[in-house]
Amino acid sequence: MSNDIIISATKLTKRFGHFTAVDEITFDVHKGEIFGFLGANGAGKTTAMRMLCGLSMPTSGKASVAGFDVYKHNEDIKKNIGYMSQKFSLYEDLTVRENMQLYGGIYGKSKAFIKDKTQEIVDQLHLGNEADKLVKSLPLGWKQKLAFSVAIFHEPGIVFLDEPTGGVDPVTRREFWNMIYEAADKGITVFVTTHYMDEAEYCSRVSIMVDGKIEAMDTPAELRKRYNAPSMDEVFLKLARKATRSE
């Protein structure tokens, strides 16, 4: 199992002045896993995620992502991961096709690659009639699915998803998770945060952060058993109620 570790963090810590946002978190994520990264607002999820994406230098501890060290090779990490958040993902004033060209170009992909991949996504999402329309004219559900496709356009080994399904309708939410499942099935590792506790059940493993520390980490089934809870929602409530700080 140890050979297929794609994210590894050991005592990873981030302090802002006297405030320890992330407090010695240690965990591994395996290739092809859907890893749910849960925690209350202010638990330290975003800070931890920013360190793993090479956007923020840790204060101490070790971490590597896709084989690259977060201190020394953070630029290589950025090239080898995909990222999508609910807040920002696509350029609204560019067309569907232009967005894909832009992202493909930024990641240094060839014209031929971009052309083929664009066609593949347009077919997959049935966007044939919308490919040359501005992204802002698309319904939200399509935007989110397109944003995910764009996040893995350059075929990264890992994709980080920060609350990707906030506010979307329940049918789209499930279609979105279908795309996540398929990506994981192809070997892409998915690192995802969410406030929907039913989505926590869809993860291979989840970690729950409380006050900067990882309080629990296991498969959803194991966690439900350990905390004697009928659902992940209950597990989360039991753990997160212990929190003493909020953001």
Partner 1 sequence: MMQSISVQHIVKTYSEKKQTIKALNDISFEVSKGELFGIIGPDGAGKTSLFRILTTLLLADSGTATVEGLDVVKDLKAIRKISGYMPGRFSLYQDLSVIENLNFFATIFNTTVDENYDLIKDIYSQIEPFKHRRAGKLSGGMKQKLALSCALIHRPTVLFLDEPTTGVDAVSRKEFWEMLRRLKEQGITILVSTPYMDEASMCDRVALMQSGSIMTINTPQGIVQSFKNAIFGVRAKNMLHLLNDLKSNEMVSQAYPSGIYHHVIMKNGESKEELSAYLQTKNHQQLEIIDSTPTIEDCFMNLMQENNE
Which chain residues interact with partner 1 by CB under 8 A? Answer: 39-42, 137, 139-141, 163, 166-172, 174, 177-178, 181-182, 185, 195-198, 201-202, 220, 224, 231-233, 236-237, 240-241, 243, 246-247
CB 118 within 8 A of CB 97: yes
Give the shortest CB-12-to-partner 1 separation in angstroms.
Answer: 22
Give the shortest CB-68-to-partner 1 separation in angstroms.
Answer: 29
Nearer to partner 1, 75 or 93 (CB): 93
Give the shortest CB-132-to-partner 1 separation in angstroms.
Answer: 15
Q: What is the distance between the alpha carbons of residues 231 and 96, in angstroms, rounded to a whole number?
A: 39
Angle between helix 140-151 and 170-185 (nearest 10): 10
Nearer to partner 1, 38 or 70 (CB): 38
Nearer to partner 1, 151 or 223 (CB): 223
Give the shortest CB-196-to-partner 1 separation in angstroms.
Answer: 8
Nearer to partner 1, 76 or 163 (CB): 163
Instruction: Fill in the amino acid letter for 40.
Output: A
- Give the number of C-alpha atoms closer than 13 A to the C-alpha of residue 116, restricted to the C-beta side: 7
Give the shortest CB-184-to-partner 1 separation in angstroms.
Answer: 8
Q: What is the distance between the alpha carbons of residues 96 and 226, in angstroms, rounded to a whole number?
A: 46
Q: What is the distance between the alpha carbons of residues 129 and 132, in angstroms, rounded to a whole number?
A: 8
Nearer to partner 1, 65 or 190 (CB): 190
Give the shortest CB-166-to-partner 1 separation in angstroms.
Answer: 6
What are the φ/ψ torsions at residue 195 (nearest 5 degrees)?
A: -100, 0
Q: Cα–Cα distances in Å, from 32 out to 152, 159, 207?
A: 14, 10, 16
Give the shortest CB-240-to-partner 1 separation in angstroms.
Answer: 4
Nearer to partner 1, 103 or 176 (CB): 176
Q: Report the run of H or E that residue 51 belongs to, with start and end.
A: helix 45-52
Nearer to partner 1, 23 or 198 (CB): 198
DSSP string, 86-143: SS--S-TTSBHHHHHHHHHHHTT--HHHHHHHHHHHHHHTT-TTTTTSBGGGS-HHHH
